[in-house]
Amino acid sequence: MRLTTKGRYAVTAMLDLAIHSNAGPISLADISNRQGISLSYLEQLFAKLRRNDLVTSVRGPGGGYLLSRVSETIFVAQIVDAVNESIDATGCGGAGDCQDGEKCLTHHLWCDLSDQIHSFLSGISLASLVARRDVQDVAARQESRDQEGTETIPLSSVV
C-alpha cells in the first residue's frame, strides 16, 4: 500500500487541529511547530482541505483554522481524499496494465485490498482518534515540549 507523506501529514495536521479545537482558531505555525511539518507544505494542504469544506479559516489577529464541523463527522478517508491522495495497493496505480499492458493475476486482489483500506479509514473519525489514550499522551508530550520552548515573562516585571 502506498500512502504518501501528503496524506499522512494532512491527517496529522487535522488531528492536531481537532485536539486543540477548543482553543479557538489554530495557526498553521502552531501546527508546524508541534508536528514538525513545514509551514509552506501545511499552507498547500490546508488550501485543499478548505476547498473540500473540512476546515474554515479565520482572518486577522488571533486567526487561524477551525474544523468546519464537529470532529465526529470528519473521517480519515475524507481527509486523505481531500488532498488528492489515493490509497492504492496495486502495482499499476489501478490502471490495470500491470503485466505487459494487461491486468496481472492478482490485480483484483490488490484493488479489493485498496477498497478495504479506504472503507476502514472511512470508519475512523477525528473524534475517535482524539479520544484514544495513546493520542492524548503524545499530544500532552508535544504540548509540554512546545511550552518549554516558550519564554514566559512574569506580569510583575512588565508593570
The domain total for the chain is: 1
Q: Which H helix or E strand runs over 56?
A: strand 55-58
pLDDT at 36 over 60: yes
Q: pLDDT tens digit string along 45-103?
A: 999 999 999 999 999 888 899 999 999 999 999 999 999 777 788 888 888 888 888 88
CB of 126 closer than 8 Å to CB of 18:
yes
| Residue 154, in any domain of the structure | no
> Which pLDDT does position 1 carry in this prediction?
53
| Residue 55, in any domain of the structure | yes
| Residue 157, in any domain of the structure | no
> Which pLDDT does position 62 carry in this prediction?
84
Residue 149: pLDDT band by 50, 70, 90 thresholds? low
Mean pLDDT estimate for the chain: 88
Alpha helices, DSSP H, located in 20-132: 28-35, 39-51, 76-82, 107-122, 126-130
Residue 151: pLDDT band by 50, 70, 90 thresholds? very low
pLDDT at 15 over 70: yes
pLDDT at 23 over 80: yes
Which domain, by its residues, includes 86? 5-149
Domain containing 111 — which CATH number? Answer: 1.10.10.10
